[in-house]
Structure 1
Amino acid sequence: MDWDKLRIFHAVADAGSLTHAGDTLHLSQSAVSRQIRALEESLNTTLFHRHARGLILTEQGELLFDATKSMNKRLEAASARIRDSEEEVFGELRVTTTTGFGTLWLAPRLPKLYELYPDLKIDLMLEERVLDLPMREADVAIRMKEPSQADLIRKRLMSVRMRLYASKTYLETNKAPVEISDISDHRLICQSLNSIQVAAGATLLQHLMTYDIPNTFTVNNYFGVLQGVINNIGIGVLPDYLTEDFPDLVRVLPDLESGEVPVFLAYPEELRQSKRISAFRDFVQDEIFTHRRKMREAVEI
């Protein structure tokens, strides 16, 4: 059905007059009449009884008017919510990021976001595959490299480095490596070189593997690597953002680390004015600022 014809039909049914509907729609009476006739022909039915005092809906017209009234109410409600959204934050926000960052850094901080915006609904999609933001597979992404897709607003959030960590319990019963060659005396917990990971992490891992490590435990994401480390399986390759939330981790071979891994937040240009996006972006930036401050303070102690 033609939406424009339905809009004109609704105005005529509401006004009970072609003339009054035309005044409301800023159309001539003849133009309104033509649109109504065309709608009736497309439906193969009569929508109005015409008489000297005006128009009366037929039974079929009443059915259609009930539908257009419902549509009009929903459109008015949506319009009101859109206007309200200029001041309020609510509705669904689809966020995509990697499994490691999403489970280990972002998800534990989301309760604070919900305290600020209790009507916000987060759909958190954790996967290594890069979702297509311009095609609206997600609304906002946090990624470990600058997104290459066009028509995206990008914001660099922070840098991450991959380092070696072990649990305090593990190091109480196993001698900590002093030189990089000592790593061959330990089980290395890491992502498999065949799994998707940032280039800097893969480069560090390839370097470690040149030391003929006889025993490894590989997982396809950093959440699994962390579980291996805190359960004392061995020494793990992990991102440095974990040290704030897992204080029992002890850095091993402190001179060894990967190159910088940039962390970017990105969202489509068309969502520039979205209050949900703005609230989420500002929240993440504030949390990262707090995280950096705590990291600096820990180094100074």
Structure 2
Amino acid sequence: MHWDDLRVFLAVAREGSITGGARRLNVQHSTVSRRLMMLEKSLGTRLLERKSSGYELTDAGAELQRSVSRIEMELIAFEGAMGNQESQLAGDLHVSAINNMASSVLMPLFARFSKTYPDIKLHVQVSNKYVSLADRQADVAIRLTNTPLDTLIGARLTTVASAVYGSKTYLAGLTGTTTPPRWLGVDCCDFHHAWTDKACPTHDHCFFVDDTLLTVAALEQGLGLAYLPCFMGDCNPLLARFSAPEPEHDLGLWLLYHPDLRESRRVRVFRDHMKLEVAAQTALFLGALAAPAAGG
């Protein structure tokens, strides 16, 4: 068996389809299919069964996945153990970050890291969902949470405050009236969804969005109120606060990685870089730069 074939099998097993495995490995669909056939032929057994919903592992496939996953973890551990022996800061570093942060407040920080360490190839991928660091979907994840997974280690970079925002025009129209404000229906994350449900228990929404960047665009059009992180709302000249940040809406900004990468110099220098950069912008993340709220 060749490791490349096993990597292909592991990707398909985790994604549940050849297409998903190919996308994960950034190779052609035909390459994945061919390698799987070769692997099954060399083992003399079927590893996957095609179902209407995708592919399911056979008993042999499930056993192979467990074995290959153990091998992969050994390789991850070896990479971490070799971290202190790296003579140069070079190689690939895959970072997963939330879309609204990666494309705005974090991008200058990433850019400065890339300029400081030009031999490290920084791969930034955006995802608002869980990514498996144990499965090497990324080396580092930057997430907003107050409950990071116990299986991961890292650093709490700062606290991110949130507040309720609306367009300045919309908020001006509310002044002096008894008309209840409209709320956007949001489903970009569990936090904003839960906070909105509490603020608008009638769920009387006429407009719905599932991404924070869409929330900003909808607010700019005067479609109502919504929660936003202060680093987004305070920097938008078209928006203003309807109400001030509340401590119950504070979230921790965490930089997380797998324990087996604790000795990787690439991970360590990236962690230290981000800690210094974020610390320099504490006021922005805490929402300490904005004008007083307009009402609420």
Q: TM-score range by the shorter chain?
A: 0.5 to 0.7
Shift of 1:276: 1.8
Name 1:142's counterpart in structure 2: 142
Task: State the AA in 1 paired with 2:214.
Answer: G
Shift of 1:203: 3.1
Where does structure 1 differ by over 6 angstroms across 4 or more consecutive aligned residues? 82-85
Contact 2:162 2:229 (8 Å CA) reproduced: yes
Consecutive unaligned residues of structure 2, counting only runs of 5 or more, are: 2-81
Name 1:167's counterpart in structure 2: 167
Contact 1:190 1:237 (8 Å CA) reproduced: no
CA distance in 1, matches of 2:110, 2:245: 33
CA distance in 2, matches of 1:249, 1:161: 16
Query: Is 1:191 aligned to 2:192, yes or no?
Result: no
Give the % identical residues.
23
SS in 2 for 1:130: coil
Query: Is 1:122 aligned to 2:113, yes or no?
Result: no
CA RMSD of aligned residues (A): 3.5
SS in 2 for 1:284: helix
Query: Is 1:279 aligned to 2:275, yes or no?
Result: no
**Deviation by residue 1:188-247 (Cα, 9 ceiling, x = unmatched):** 23523xx5423xx3332111222x464442211212111222344332211122245435
Contact 1:177 1:252 (8 Å CA) reproduced: no
Structure 2 counterparts to residues 30-179 of structure 1, below 5 A: 86=86, 88-145=88-145, 146-150=147-151, 152-172=152-172, 174-176=173-175
SS in 2 for 1:113: helix
SS in 2 for 1:94: strand
Rate the CA distance shift 1:266–1:197 in 2: closer, same or farther, 3 A.
same
**Deviation by residue 1:34-88 (Cα, 9 ceiling, x = unmatched):** xxxxxxxxxxxxxxxxxxxxxxxxxxxxxxxxxxxxxxxxxxxxxxxx8998464
Contact 1:140 1:265 (8 Å CA) reproduced: yes
Contact 1:189 1:237 (8 Å CA) reproduced: no
SS in 2 for 1:105: coil
Equivalent of 2:194 in 203, 209, 214? 203
Decide which structure has the larger Cα Rg and report it.
1
Rate the CA distance shift 1:214–1:245 in 2: closer, same or farther, 3 A.
same
Shift of 1:164: 0.8
Rate the CA distance shift 1:296–1:215 in 2: closer, same or farther, 3 A.
closer
Shift of 1:271: 1.4
CA distance in 1, matches of 2:167, 2:230: 14
Task: State the AA in 2 paired with 1:100.
Answer: N
Task: State the AA in 2 paired with 1:239.
Answer: P
Name 1:7's counterpart in structure 2: none
CA distance in 2, matches of 1:88, 1:148: 31
Rate the CA distance shift 1:127–1:220 in 2: closer, same or farther, 3 A.
same
Equivalent of 2:213 in 201, 223, 229? 223
Task: State the AA in 2 paired with 1:110.
Answer: F
Rate the CA distance shift 1:133–1:83 in 2: closer, same or farther, 3 A.
closer
Contact 1:244 1:291 (8 Å CA) reproduced: no
Contact 2:245 2:287 (8 Å CA) reproduced: no
Contact 1:229 1:235 (8 Å CA) reproduced: yes
Contact 1:91 1:120 (8 Å CA) reproduced: yes
Contact 1:203 1:258 (8 Å CA) reproduced: no
Contact 1:162 1:258 (8 Å CA) reproduced: no
Contact 2:234 2:290 (8 Å CA) reproduced: no
Rate the CA distance shift 1:242–1:177 in 2: closer, same or farther, 3 A.
farther
Contact 1:113 1:283 (8 Å CA) reproduced: yes
CA distance in 1, matches of 2:189, 2:131: 14
Name 1:291's counterpart in structure 2: 281
SS in 2 for 1:278: helix
